[in-house]
């Protein structure tokens, strides 16, 4: 295995070659304007009399105390090339109001939906008030989009008494219906975190949904057009649209937004230079379809995703990117006993710069709860019954040095109320985070809630054999379930409550979602208490 330093040098050299061959990403072209500011770009009209334009819904995201991003895409034929739009820019009007009827409009303007960005619109609406609900919509000609509801964050110094948010991941469209997202949309959340695998890149030869055998669902995504089509396929779903319309989202990607288990510039499907072209395509389509700021537009195969969002003095969320900077998986990936690669302290899942940013931020936050939103399980996951140990190389178990530095560093810095949120496992796993997982008496330095998938893995069962082994072999694991769903968290100054919402089925429509477990963490007391 390459060292971290050597790996970073190789990645930089490959990226330089990529940019030399393909050129840097296009300059930013989508801009929102506030009242009194006209768009600098002329935009031609589009005929909107025959086909609806807002077929992929609307969304908002990355709320700040005075700003939030609002998003839409014009796509009269969402699965057709270019979404059925011609190669002309289109002027899109937008409004933000304090009421759903838009009697009290507080911000309005125009944005240009450009063909080079799939006619998507990202407007960073500024000048809003902290910790307020707002409603937003878009208009082109006589067509008005659905109405979305969003909420800004509190001011940094505000003493917020409570907040409620949801987190989810892994929504393979072909493996089920978005029953969990429909439930999420019906509940009141201040914000929603999506922790990766928004789409799946591989082609499915069969699936649960009636049209999952169509060519657009079976094709492996490689080109930019492939990825754009896959996002359109997912975003057509009305339950996904409803969940986006219900609250702002904070998003980060995992592997399937590009290709299964990719690591930095490495994937066995292609040489590094070719893989970076695919990664650039995937990143571009991801940014186009997520409510992200213009400053996060990818530069070729590079994209700034790790960032911090603060909710007054109550909580700070450090959102990680554990794909773009990681060392290649140890031992050839898969599930393996701990090995020289997985135990090599020079290897990293975050990269040195992001790791330093994370620890410095945790130490300086000053909030009651310190939250890490990331893609994988941080807790040790021994999946072998009996003597010996086998752990997944794709999670933090494959990067023990990173885990030791983050958990040990947080402990040394006196970070209180550390909570890690993860996904990717397609199962619910809630754990105490130990300073030394080999010693049950070791200090508990934090708590981890890993959410199951929205659909990936089909219906599932309460406990499968893997889950029973996890509970038996890992005393720090306090809860497990192998069904589909998501997690709702209610956070106060006194405690953190995680409700694991579980769907009885996703392979047929009309499933029921109920609370399978309610887990509590008390202020100042690391670890899970069941209720």
**Helix/strand/coil (H/E/C) assignment for every residue in 481-520:** EEECEEEEEEEECCEEEEEEEEECCCCCCCCCEEEEEEEE
Helix axes 224-235, 272-289, angle to 10 degrees: 40
Contact indicator for 456, 482 with CB cutoff of 8 Å: no
Kindly state the average pLDDT of the residues 440-457. 97
* CATH number, domain 31-151: 2.60.40.380
Summarize pLDDT for 112-128 with one digit per residue, the tens.
999 999 999 999 999 99
Q: Of the given ranges (21-25, 96-100, 199-203, 410-414), which has the lowest mean pLDDT? A: 21-25
List the structure tokens of 91: 């002027």
Q: What is the Cα Rg of the chain in Å?
A: 22
Residue 443 confidence (pLDDT) above 50: yes
Q: Tell me how far apart the alpha carbons of residues 481 and 459 are, in angstroms, rounded to a whole number.
A: 12
Torsion of the alpha carbons at 202, 208, 213 and 216, rounded to the nearest 10? -50
pLDDT mean across residues, the chain: 91
Residue 327 confidence (pLDDT) above 60: yes
Residue 244 confidence (pLDDT) above 50: yes
CA nearest neighbour of 374 among 171, 82, 140, 167: 167
Residue 436 confidence (pLDDT) above 80: yes
Q: What percent of the chain has pLDDT over 70?
A: 90
Domain 4-9+153-530 in CATH 3.60.21.70? The answer is: yes
List the structure tokens of 68: 């939030």
Residues of the chain with CATH 3.60.21.70: 4-9+153-530
Structure confidence at residue 5 (pLDDT): 39
How far is residue 286 from each of residues 49, 200, 225, 235, 426, measured CA to CA in Å? 30, 12, 12, 12, 22
Residues of the chain with CATH 2.60.40.380: 31-151
Structure confidence at residue 47 (pLDDT): 57
Does the predicted model carry a pTM greater than 0.85?
A: yes
Kindly state the average pLDDT of the residues 61-69. 98
Structure confidence at residue 45 (pLDDT): 46
Between 232 and 26, where is the model more confident?
232
Residue 366 confidence (pLDDT) above 80: yes
């Amino acid at each position: 295995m390459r060292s971290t330093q050597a790996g970073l040098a190789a990645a930089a050299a490959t990226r330089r070659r990529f940019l030399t061959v393909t050129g840097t990403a296009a300059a930013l072209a989508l801009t929102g304007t506030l009242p009194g500011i006209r768009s600098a770009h002329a935009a031609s009209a589009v005929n909107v009399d025959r086909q609806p334009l807002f077929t992929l819904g609307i969304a908002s995201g990355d709320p700040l105390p005075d700003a939030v991003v609002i998003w839409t895409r014009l796509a009269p034929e969402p699965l057709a090339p270019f979404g059925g739009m011609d190669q002309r820019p289109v002027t899109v009007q937008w409004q933000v109001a304090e009421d759903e009827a838009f009697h009290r409009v507080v911000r309005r303007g125009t944005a240009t939906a450009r063909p080079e960005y799939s006619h998507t619109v990202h407007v960073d609406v500024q000048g809003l008030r902290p910790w307020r609900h707002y409603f937003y919509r878009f208009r082109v000609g006589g067509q008005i989009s659905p109405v979305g509801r969003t909420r800004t964050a509190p001011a940094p110094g505000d003493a917020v008494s409570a907040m409620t948010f949801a987190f989810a991941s892994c929504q393979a469209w072909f493996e089920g219906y978005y029953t969990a997202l429909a439930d999420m949309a019906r509940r009141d959340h201040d914000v929603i975190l999506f922790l990766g695998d928004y789409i799946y890149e591989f082609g499915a030869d069969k699936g649960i949904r009636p049209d999952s055998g169509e060519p657009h669902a079976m094709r492996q995504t490689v080109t930019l057009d492939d990825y754009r089509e896959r996002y359109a396929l997912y975003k057509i779903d009305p339950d996904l649209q409803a969940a986006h319309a219900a609250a702002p989202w904070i998003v980060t990607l995992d592997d399937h937004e590009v290709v299964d288990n990719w690591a930095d510039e490495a994937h066995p499907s292609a040489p590094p230079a070719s893989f970076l072209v695919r990664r650039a395509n995937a990143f571009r389509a991801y940014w186009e379809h997520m409510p992200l700021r213009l400053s996060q537009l990818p530069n070729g195969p590079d994209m700034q995703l790790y960032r911090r969002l603060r909710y007054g003095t109550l909580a700070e969320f450090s959102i990680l990117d554990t794909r773009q900077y990681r060392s290649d998986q140890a031992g050839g990936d898969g599930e393996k006993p701990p090995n020289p690669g997985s135990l090599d302290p020079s290897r990293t899942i975050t990269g040195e710069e992001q790791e330093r940013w994370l620890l410095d931020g945790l130490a300086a936050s000053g909030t009651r709860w310190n939250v890490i939103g990331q893609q994988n399980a941080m807790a040790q996951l021994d999946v072998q019954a009996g003597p010996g140990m086998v752990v997944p190389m794709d999670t933090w178990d494959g990067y023990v040095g990173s885990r030791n530095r983050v958990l040990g560093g947080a402990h040394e810095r006196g970070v209180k109320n550390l909570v890690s949120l993860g996904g990717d496992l397609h199962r619910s796993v809630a754990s105490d985070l130990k300073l030394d997982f080999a010693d049950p008496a070791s200090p508990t330095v934090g708590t981890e809630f890993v959410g199951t998938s929205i659909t990936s893995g089909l219906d599932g069962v309460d406990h499968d054999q893997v889950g029973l082994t996890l509970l038996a072999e890992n005393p720090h694991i306090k809860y497990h379930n192998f069904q589909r769903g998501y997690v709702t968290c209610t956070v106060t100054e006194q405690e953190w409550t995680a409700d694991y919402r579980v769907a009885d089925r996703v392979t047929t429509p009309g499933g029921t979602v109920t609370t399978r477990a309610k887990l509590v963490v008390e202020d100042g007391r690391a670890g899970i208490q069941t209720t």
